[in-house]
């Protein structure tokens, strides 16, 4: 089957404003007497040759009048002959009658159109201005009614001009103080760009580069990426030192969609540290089950102290009392779109702090320095000695676990029973047996004498370091009768005298301390046994005492948190809380008995060599270092709505926040009236925030939006805008009745928006900077269809030229800043300003405009039937349209792939804007806005057949891209002249970009040879080689973008050839590895000039 090549590539260029007026309607088209003054002179001069002139000069003479009308004698020096001067004056007078005579065409048209047909000329239309009003300081609100007039200077006739308000306007002192915006990437929804100062060149306060100083309403996606996330404020984060681990278990509402895959690389964690925000490590991040997101954070000794949030230090307005942990999503992680609507039911916080060493320490004798070795129970430890450990950080919490750790110094290298064995010698057991006998004489069955009696002094010298069982064993070997006696009286081993005798006899496990916790000035023993005792040197009696003391203390559940705990400088009787106490209760280090034991051994061995005997060791004095506390805490923030949500909210300690691009907001079921989400929700593609200052609510506020008309991208559908206000960190939409005036048509044209600000609005918000009343303009999609904005001004009003007596609007609009005063001064008004020139004014309809309108109306009769009708109806109604082209039986809905030139009943209109007044975002492809296209369609559909399938679209632009090598002439710098060359190419291919007088044309063709010729004529070009021309068509048309063309032609009747934005131009001097220096091409066949016989034959439509 043959290819359908019928594209209806009609050669018509449509109708533009230059060829719209028929010549026959021009009043000067037919002149009854079209002779000029010079022509009349010549006529008279020639005519005078045929008229006799008689004069008498002594005799009658005859000649012609030609000698009298010698036009060469007309001079400008005042010496012209009187009759010639008189004739010249006659011609000037005749010109008046001649001009009236030549108005016959206009008079005839006026008579026929006005008198016979009754068409009246349109009167002048008054122009309008936008004004801003500043009130006096003592006035908060004021109304100017519609009769208020403003002075506008004098017109060309020296008459006073005035402008009058179109309606009543209410004014106040409110002003625009800040403008911010966000823009969500339309493809990658997780990327959000923010503009802190939207009304600037770069979104952060930079200068403008465009002439009209306009800015994108919602910013640019290339700008700074917003930091989105969440934050938690909790006293559990009061962690000043040590190895600190925070585990956050965020429980999502059951039934939430499948959890996305996450990792620690997707997040960034920051804490409120002593020098500002500090980033800490994220050890892990994962969904540990379907609905629980777990984040494990870690800060070691190198990190700063985590301190309470401080507005002046940390700057962000969290309204938090306690430390804050912020979790930010990495913009490129792609998680925001997945977690934006993740509802959370609770957040469980676990903190694990190891090795807290900055402690307050003291014993019963005074304060100690925890950074140095210290004696916890004093230099001579005694039973009842206390060791105090204080910390405001540790003991303010409701602890889950508590661990005490320190290291003993200078411990003996043997078990304490061996170390102290010389303090009580078992071989001297017989010295205390008489004492036992005297106490048991009544029970003894035998009065046998057992040894000699000792005195009290001898008894007191006995030492006890060996268990009773061992004494029994040693004594039975010497005398079985002693063993028998001891077995009869076992109860006397419990006597105080016996205990005293053996009081220095100890093991490793003998040394214990009682642990208690201070709360409300009372020492509370720790469980499970009350009091809880800990072994200081371990429980093994065989080995040397353990140097490292490490005890996991049991914390009573009755000890609740007290976040006002302050340990002060140390423990005293006024201390309320914040201390742990170790009370030495069991064991004795032998300081009191050392001298006695030592003297005894020396005296008992007086005849022996002291170097050969084993003397008692010096008593051990506990000395510790590296004291530290470790602890864990746990709490849960409940975020599920309950009947008690208000009470929970009012008594909350821990707070959950969402972090937005310009602030943060605490979220809670009571505050947010329902579900709490993990992240702030940005469902709109673009949001513009307007911050107002000096607002007194309620009030009516009029905002003037000056837009750069024509800057909207017409490829997008018209965006639907929503208005909202911020109240208590929640957005509330304006009701329809609260939007009193909307002249901008969705920010597509300059106009005033008047809003009724409700009394519930407040300026104390944190989602955006506090101190402002924030308004929001949002668009869910198609943000590029909105015009760029030049300014937003509060307290605006609209006034119209006031017509009275003989003062009528002039054709010239008044300039900006002409109006500055009221006609009748008002003390309530301090200042009046006119920021921009007047607009919408039209002079009275003149002859040609009138004739054109009436003649077209007589032809199309207000109905669109023929191509001529469609095009002229559009041009008459829409002054910003320069060219209108109607293509019959062609269907084109904007999708190039659906273009069909054989569609009976379909009509397609292609509209081209007037580039002289258009502010096109892409000058290479001027487009009419979607709003205007829809207006055209609606206008024509009222005038055409109900059966016509109408489409109104922009042209199809087919781009020409060039690739070639160029040799610049010597002395011409590449960095200067290559850009000039590219600009020249764009001027050749799209001449309207350099000259507004040149308008776009449909169809056409461009020869490669013509371009080469034009470029080689440039003064700075030596020669061009490897010249290739490509035609890049929109998707949907045949793709020939890789084909080097000799001639570029459009494919459709709706197409216009234009330039590709960038062309590939290489300087021959910069090309390495040139095979042929003459052309600098690898394949020089590209430069061969072909004859017509060498081309592949094609038919008229370009098909083979």
**Which residues, other chains included, contact 851 with Cβ-Cβ below 8 Å and sequence gap of 6+?**
25, 109, 113
Structure letter (DSSP) for residue 112 = I
For 537-573, how does the pLDDT look when each residue is reduced to its tens digit (9 = 90+)? 888 877 888 889 998 888 887 788 999 999 999 999 8
8-state DSSP, 266: G
pLDDT band of residue 473 (cuts 50, 70, 90) is very low
Confirm whether 475 is domain-assigned: yes
The pLDDT tens digits for 159-196 are 888 999 999 999 999 999 999 999 999 888 899 999 99
Clarify whether residues 161 and 297 are in a common domain: no
Residues 496 and 530 in one domain: no
Same domain, 1085 and 990: yes
pTM: 0.80
In a shared domain, residues 884 and 930: yes
The total domain count for the chain is: 8
Query: Are 391 and 404 within 8 A, CB to CB?
Result: no
pLDDT-derived band at 27, boundaries 50, 70, 90 = confident
Contacts of 973 (CB under 8 A, 6+ apart): none
pLDDT in tens, 824-874: 999 999 999 999 998 888 888 888 889 999 999 999 999 999 999 999 999
Q: Given 810, 833, 856, which residue is the final one in a domain?
A: 833
- The 10s digit of each residue's pLDDT in 843-857 is 888 888 899 999 999
- 438 and 395: one domain? no
How, if at all, do strands 956-968 and 1064-1067 pair? parallel
* Residue among 1048, 235, 292 nearest 635 (CA): 235
φ/ψ of residue 216, rounded to 5: -65, 130
Boundary-marking domain end, from 928, 953, 978: 953
Q: Is residue 108 part of a domain?
A: no
Q: Report, as an integer, the average pLDDT of 937-944.
A: 94
For residue 1032, the surrounding DSSP H or E stretch is strand 1021-1032
Q: How far apart are CA 420 and CA 618, in angstroms?
A: 9
**962 and 947 both lie in a single domain:** no
1026 is a domain residue = yes
**pLDDT at res. 58:** 76
- Is the per-residue pLDDT at 343 higher than 70? yes
* 494 and 513 within one domain: no
Is 857 contained in some domain? Answer: yes
211 phi, psi to nearest 5 deg: -65, -40
Same-domain check for residues 711 and 586? no
Average pLDDT of the segment spanning 932-944: 93
pLDDT number for residue 864:
93
Q: Is residue 26 included in any domain, yes or no?
A: no
Cβ neighbours for 717, distance < 8 A, ≥ 6 positions apart: 782, 785, 930
Residue 870, Ramachandran bin (φ over 0: left; ψ between -120 and 50: alpha; else beta): alpha
CATH of the domain at 182: 2.60.120
Is the pLDDT score of 692 beyond 90?
A: yes
> For 263-293, what is each residue's pLDDT tens digit?
999 999 999 999 999 999 999 999 998 889 9
Contact 800, 209 (CB under 8 A): no
Q: Output the pLDDT for position 470.
A: 38
Are 945 and 980 in the same domain?
Answer: no
Asked whether residue 1029 is assigned to any structural domain, the reply reads: yes
- 404 and 541 in a single domain? The answer is yes
Residues β-bridged to residue 52: 64
Q: CA 796 to CA 979: how far, in whole Å?
A: 45
pLDDT at 465: 38
In angstroms, how far is the first alpha carbon of the chain from the final one?
Answer: 13
Q: How far apart are alpha carbons 480 and 487 in whole angstroms?
A: 11
What domain range includes position 752? Answer: 175-224+680-794
As beta bridge partners, residue 156 has none
What confidence category does residue 429 fall into, taking pLDDT thresholds of 50, 70 and 90?
very low
Q: What is the mean pLDDT of residues 1015-1025?
A: 93
Q: Write down the mean pLDDT value for the chain.
A: 85
Which residues have a Cβ under 8 Å from the Cβ of 86 and sit 6 or more positions away? none
Burial of 838: CB neighbours in 10 Å, binned 0-12, 13-18, 19+: buried
Q: Is 842 a domain residue?
A: no
Same domain, 383 and 521: yes
Domain termination residue (choose one: 440, 474, 501): 501
Cis peptide before 678 (omega within 30 of 0): no
Question: Helix 82-101 to helix 37-47 angle, to the nearest 10 degrees?
Answer: 120
CA torsion sign for 915, 916, 918, 924 is positive
Q: Which of 138-147, 558-567, 1094-1103 has the lowest mean pLDDT?
A: 1094-1103
What mean pLDDT comes out for the span 85-95?
A: 89
User: Of 379, 357, 380, which Cα lies nearest the Cα of 370?
Assistant: 357
Question: To the nearest 10°, the Cα dihedral for 937, 940, 946, 949?
Answer: -40
* Residue-level pLDDT at 845: 86
- Residue 84: inside a domain: yes
Q: Let me know whether 662 and 750 are in one domain.
A: no
SS3 sequence of 519-563 = ECCEEEECCCCCCEEEECCCCCCCCCCCCEEEEEECCCCCCCCCC
> Which pLDDT value is given to residue 490?
44
Percent of the chain having pLDDT more than 90?
56
Neighbouring-strand partners of residue 512: 535, 586
């Amino acid at each position: 089957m043959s290819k359908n090549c019928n594209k209806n590539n009609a050669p018509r260029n449509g109708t533009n404003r230059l060829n719209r007026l028929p010549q026959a309607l021009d009043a000067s088209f037919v002149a009854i007497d079209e002779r000029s003054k010079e022509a009349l002179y010549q006529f008279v001069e020639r005519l005078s040759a045929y008229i006799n002139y008689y004069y008498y000069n002594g005799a009658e003479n005859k000649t012609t009048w030609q000698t009298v009308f010698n036009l060469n004698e007309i001079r400008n020096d005042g010496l012209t002959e009187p009759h010639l001067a008189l004739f010249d004056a006659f011609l000037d007078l005749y010109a008046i009658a001649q001009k009236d005579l030549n108005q016959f065409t206009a008079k005839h048209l006026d008579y026929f159109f006005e008198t016979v047909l009754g068409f009246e000329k349109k009167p002048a239309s008054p122009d309008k201005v936008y004004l801003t009003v500043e009130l006096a300081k003592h006035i908060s609100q004021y109304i100017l009614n519609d009769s208020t007039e403003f002075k506008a200077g004098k017109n060309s006739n020296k008459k006073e001009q005035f402008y009058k308000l179109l309606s009543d306007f209410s004014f106040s002192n409110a002003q625009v103080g800040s403008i911010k915006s966000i823009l969500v990437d339309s493809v990658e929804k997780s990327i959000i760009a923010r503009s802190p100062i939207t009304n600037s060149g770069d979104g952060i306060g930079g200068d403008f580069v465009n002439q009209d100083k306009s800015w994108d309403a919602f910013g640019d996606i290339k700008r700074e990426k917003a930091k989105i996330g969440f934050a938690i404020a909790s006293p559990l984060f009061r962690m000043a030192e040590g190895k600190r681990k925070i585990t956050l278990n965020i429980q999502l509402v059951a039934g939430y969609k499948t959890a996305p895959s996450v990792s620690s690389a997707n997040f960034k964690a920051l804490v409120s540290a002593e020098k500002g925000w500090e980033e800490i490590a994220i050890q892990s991040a994962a969904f540990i089950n379907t609905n629980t997101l777990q984040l494990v954070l870690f800060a070691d000794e190198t990190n700063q102290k985590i301190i309470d949030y401080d507005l002046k230090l940390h700057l962000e307005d969290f309204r938090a009392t306690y430390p804050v942990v912020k979790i930010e999503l990495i913009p490129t992680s792609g998680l925001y779109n997945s977690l934006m609507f993740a509802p959370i039911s609770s957040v469980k916080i676990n903190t694990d702090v190891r090795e807290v060493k900055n402690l307050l320490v003291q014993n019963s004798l005074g304060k100690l320095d925890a950074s140095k070795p210290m004696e916890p129970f004093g230099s001579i430890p005694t039973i009842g000695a206390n060791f105090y450990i204080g910390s405001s950080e540790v003991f303010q919490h409701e602890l889950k676990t508590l661990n005490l750790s320190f290291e003993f110094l200078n411990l003996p290298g043997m078990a304490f029973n061996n170390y102290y064995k010389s303090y009580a010698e078992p071989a001297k057991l017989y010295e205390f047996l008489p004492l036992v006998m005297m106490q048991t004489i009544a029970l003894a069955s035998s009065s046998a004498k057992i040894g000699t009696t000792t005195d009290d002094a001898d008894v007191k010298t006995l030492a006890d370091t060996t268990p009773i069982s061992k004494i029994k064993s040693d004594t039975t070997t010497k005398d079985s009768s002693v063993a028998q006696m001891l077995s009869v009286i076992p109860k006397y081993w419990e006597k105080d005298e016996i205990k005293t005798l053996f009081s220095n006899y100890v093991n490793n496990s003998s040394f214990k301390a009682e642990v208690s916790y201070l709360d409300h000035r009372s020492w509370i023993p720790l469980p499970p046994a009350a009091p809880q005792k800990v072994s200081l040197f371990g429980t093994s009696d065989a080995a040397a005492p353990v140097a490292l003391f490490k005890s996991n203390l049991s914390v009573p559940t009755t000890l609740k948190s007290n976040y006002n705990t302050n340990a002060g400088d140390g423990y005293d009787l006024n201390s309320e809380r914040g201390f742990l106490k170790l009370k030495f209760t069991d064991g004795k280090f032998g300081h009191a008995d050392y001298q006695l034991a030592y003297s005894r051994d020396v005296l008992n061995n007086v005849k022996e060599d002291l170097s050969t005997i084993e003397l008692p060791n010096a008593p051990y004095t506990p000395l510790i270092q590296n004291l530290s506390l470790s602890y864990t805490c746990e709490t849960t923030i409940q975020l599920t709505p309950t009947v008690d949500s208000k009470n929970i909210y009012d008594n909350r300690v821990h707070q959950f926040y969402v972090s937005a691009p310009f602030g943060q907001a605490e979220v809670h079921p009571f505050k947010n009236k329902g579900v709490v989400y993990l992240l702030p929700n940005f469902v709109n593609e673009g949001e513009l925030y307007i911050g107002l200052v000096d607002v007194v609510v309620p009030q009516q506020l009029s905002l003037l939006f000056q837009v750069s008309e024509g800057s909207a991208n017409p490829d997008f559908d018209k965006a639907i805008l929503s208005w909202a206000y911020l109240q208590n960190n929640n957005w509330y939409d304006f009701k329809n009745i609260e939007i009193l005036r909307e002249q901008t048509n969705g920010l597509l044209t300059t106009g005033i928006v008047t809003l009724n600000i409700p009394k519930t609005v407040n300026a104390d918000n944190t989602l955006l900077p506090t101190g402002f009343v924030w308004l929001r303009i949002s668009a869910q999609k198609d943000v590029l269809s909105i015009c760029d904005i030049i300014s937003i001004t509060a307290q605006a009003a609209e006034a119209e030229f006031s017509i009275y007596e003989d003062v009528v609007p002039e054709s010239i609009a008044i300039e900006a800043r002409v109006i500055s005063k009221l006609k009748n001064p008002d003390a309530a008004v301090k200042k009046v300003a006119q920021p921009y020139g007047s607009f919408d004014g039209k002079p009275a309809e003149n002859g040609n405009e009138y004739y054109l309108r009436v003649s077209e109306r007589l032809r199309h009769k207000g109905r669109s039937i023929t191509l001529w009708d469609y095009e002229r109806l559009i041009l008459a109604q829409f002054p910003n349209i320069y060219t209108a082209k109607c293509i019959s039986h062609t269907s084109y809905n904007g999708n190039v792939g659906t273009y069909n030139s054989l569609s009976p009943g379909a009509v397609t209109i292609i509209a081209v804007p007037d580039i002289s007044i258009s502010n096109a975002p892409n000058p290479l492809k001027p487009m009419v806005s979607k709003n205007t296209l829809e207006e055209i369609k609606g206008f024509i559909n009222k005038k055409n057949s109900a059966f016509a399938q109408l489409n109104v679209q922009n042209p199809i632009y087919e781009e020409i891209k060039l690739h070639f090598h160029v040799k610049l002439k010597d002395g011409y710098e590449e960095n200067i002249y290559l850009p000039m060359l590219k600009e020249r190419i764009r001027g050749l291919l799209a001449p309207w970009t350099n000259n507004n007088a040149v308008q776009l044309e449909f169809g056409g063709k461009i020869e490669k040879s013509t371009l080469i010729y034009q470029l080689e004529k440039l003064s700075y070009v030596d020669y061009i080689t490897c010249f290739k021309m490509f035609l890049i068509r929109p998707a949907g048309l045949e793709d020939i973008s890789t084909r080097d063309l000799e001639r570029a032609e459009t494919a459709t009747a709706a197409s216009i050839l234009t330039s590709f934005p960038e062309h590939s131009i290489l300087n021959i001097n910069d090309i390495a590895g040139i095979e042929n220096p003459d052309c600098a091409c690898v394949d020089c066949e590209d430069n061969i000039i072909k004859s017509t016989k060498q081309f592949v034959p094609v038919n008229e439509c370009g098909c083979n």
